[in-house]
Amino acid sequence: MRVEHAPAKLTLSLRVTGRRDDGYHLLDAEMATLDLSDTLVFGPGDGIELVPLVRTAPFEPTLVTSALEAVGRQAFVRLEKRIPVGAGLGGGSADAAAVLRWAECSDVAVALSLGADVPFCLTGGRARVKGVGEVVEPLPFERRVYTLLTPPVAVSTAEVYRRWDELGGPSGDNGNDLEPAALDLEPRLAIWRDQLGDASGRTPRLAGSGSTWFVEGAFPDVADAVVTRTQIVAGPSPDD
């Protein structure tokens, strides 16, 4: 048996810098690893046992299966799910990256074939991410605390990008170009944004394509004012 942790990622800023002929969008983003993570336990055999440890949208661990196929390996995987699905925290990508680490595969091309966030999740830490996700430039370690609000609403990343195109490629005035498209696609997101803003006194920012909102700092009383709240620390320990 072998255990791999799959840390979530937080997209601190995101600019869409272009679009390739194949439809993929080019990004310039800052991402950081969180201390919120799924756990994958690998053992002999074949198959996946999904253990949801948080209330989340319906989920099929297809990226775990795809990652195993990509490295030509077989295992029975127990996936303990703590990262909410459709929250913009890279849970599926983190799980795929954990499979690659288990298989001792560090090939960026393989990671990218599984998803745009997988190369960053494979590297972890804090980084500037460019291209379609394949360029991961490490940044100096910084320990920061964020308060996250994950609404009970899942948002499709593909649909958010599609709406961003339909809206003419708007620039987000809060550091995330996808925020206007996500709000247009799912107007209810504004409810939780405003709750977190009122409770913290800060302007929330959308994590990636959503649906999670976050503000920097610890706000222990936020749970009394919003639907759900998680406080996490960005970045692994410098000694990890």
- Residues acting as catalytic residues: 9, 117
List residues bridging with 76 in a β-sheet.
Answer: 43, 47
Distance CA 86, CA 185 (A): 14
Alpha helices in 24-145 (DSSP H): 62-70, 91-102, 108-114, 118-123
Residues 6+ apart with CB under 8 A from 112: 118, 119, 132, 133, 134
Answer whether 130's CB lies under 8 Å from 139's CB. Answer: no
Distance CA 12, CA 44 (A): 38
Longest dimension (CA), the chain: 51
